[in-house]
Amino acid sequence: AHVKVLRSLGPEGRTLPLQGHVGFDSLPDQLVNKCVNLGFDMNILCVGETGIGKSTLMDCLFKANFDDTVHSHKSPGVEISEHIYNLKEGNVKLRLAIVDSVGYGDQINKENSFKPLVDFIDEQFENYLQEELKIKRDLVTFHDSRVHVCLYFLVPTGHSIRSLDLVTMKALDKKCNIIPIIAKSDTVSKSELDTFKANIMEELRDNDVEIYTFPTDDETVAEVNKDMNEMMPFAVVGSREDVKVGETTVRGREYPWGVVEIENEQHCDFVKLREMLIRTNMEDLREVTHRKHYELYRRGKLKQMGITDDGAHPVSLQETYEQKRAEHLEELQRIENEMRQNFVNKVREKDLELKRNEKELAAKYEGLRKENNEEKKRLDEERKKLDDDLAALKKKREDLERANAEHANGQNTK
Ligand code: GDP
Q: List, for residues 275-314, the tens digit of each pLDDT value.
A: 888 888 888 999 999 999 999 999 888 888 777 666 555 5
What CATH number does residue 159 fall under? Answer: 3.40.50.300
The CA 183 to ligand 1 mean position distance, Å, reads 9
Q: Are residues 264 and 326 in the same domain?
A: no
Statement to judge: residues 347 and 276 lie in one domain: no
Q: In sequence order, what DSSP letters do the residues of 147-197 get, joined into one string?
A: --EEEEEE---SS---HHHHHHHHHHTTTS-EEEEETTGGGS-HHHHHHHH
Burial class (CB in 10 A: 0-12, 13-18, 19+), 332: exposed
Mean pLDDT throughout 132-143?
81
CA of 216 to the centre of ligand 1 (A): 33
Q: 164, 110 in Cβ contact below 8 A?
A: yes
Ligand 1 atom nearest 71 alpha carbon: 2
For residue 62, the CA-to-ligand 1 centroid distance in Å is 16
Average confidence (pLDDT) over 217-222: 85
Do residues 46 and 97 touch, judged by C-beta distance below 8 A? no
Q: Which of 281, 304, 327 marks a domain boundary? A: 304
pLDDT of res. 364: 96
- Whether 186 shows a pLDDT value over 60: the answer reads yes
**CB hemisphere CA count around 257 (13 angstroms):** 1
Which residues have CB under 8 Å from 110's CB, separation 6+?
Answer: 164
Distance CA 140, CA 35 (A): 10
Q: Whose CA is nearest to atom 12 of ligand 1?
A: 53
Mutate to test the pocket of ligand 1, among 56, 70, 254 (most ligand atoms within 8 A of CB): 56
Cα 239 to ligand 1 centre (Å): 7
Q: What is the rounded average pLDDT of the residues 166-178?
A: 91
What's the count of helices (H) and strands (E) in the chain, helices before strands? 11, 9
Atom number, ligand 1, closest to the C-alpha of residue 236: 23
Q: Do 288 and 324 sit in the same domain of this protein?
A: no
> Whole-model pTM?
0.71
Kindly state the DSSP code that residue 24 receives in the 8-state scheme. G
- Pick from 250, 282, 304: which residue ends a domain? 304
Q: How far is the CA of 387 from the centre of ligand 1 (A)?
A: 110
Same domain, 91 and 121: yes
Confidence of residue 341 (pLDDT cuts 50, 70, 90): very high
Strands lying side by side in the sheet with 258-261: 242-245, 248-255, 258-261
Could you tell me which residue, 49 or 365, shows the higher pLDDT? 365
Q: What whole-number distance in Å separates Cα of residue 209 and Cα of residue 198?
A: 15
Decide if 13 is inside a domain: no
9 domain-assigned: no
Residue 72: pLDDT band with limits 50, 70, 90? low
Q: How many domains is the chain partitioned into structurally?
A: 2
Mean local confidence (pLDDT), 182-189: 89
Domain identity same for 211 and 118: yes
pLDDT given for residue 337 in this prediction:
96
Q: Could you give the CA distance from residue 239 to residue 370 in angstroms, rounded to a whole number?
A: 98
Distance CA 251, CA 254 (A): 10
Residue 10, pLDDT above cutoff 70: no
The amino acid occupying position 156 is P
Q: Is residue 4 part of a domain?
A: no
User: pLDDT above 90 covers what percent of the chain?
Assistant: 36
> What is the average pLDDT value for the chain, to the nearest integer?
86
Q: Residue 71: which pLDDT band, with cuts at 50, 70 and 90?
A: low
> Does residue 154 fall inside a structural domain?
yes
294 with 321, same domain: the answer is no
Residues 245 and 128 in one domain: yes
Please report whether residue 3 resides in a domain. Answer: no
Residues 176 and 286 in one domain: yes
Q: What is the ipTM of this complex?
A: 0.96
Distance 184 CA to ligand 1 centre (A): 7
Are 126 and 145 contained in the same domain?
yes
Across 292-309, b (16+ Cβ under 10 Å) vs e yields: ebbeebbeeeeeeeebee
Residues 297 and 354 in one domain: no
Neighbours of 186 (CB within 10 A): 19
Q: pLDDT tens digits for 240-254? A: 888 888 888 888 888
Which residue ranges have their beta carbon within 6 Å of ligand 1?
Answer: 48, 50-56, 70-71, 184, 186-187, 237-238
Evaluate whether residue 309 is within a structural domain: no
pLDDT number for residue 309: 67
Of 304, 329, 361, the position where a domain reaches its end is: 304
Domain holding 337, by residue range, is: 315-408
**Cα 217 from Cα 221, distance rounded (Å):** 8
* Residues 341 and 264 placed together within one structural domain of the fold: no
Same domain membership, residue 292 and residue 229: yes
Tens digit of each residue's pLDDT (9 = 90 or more) over 88-130: 888 888 888 888 888 887 777 667 788 889 999 999 999 998 8
pLDDT value at residue 304: 80
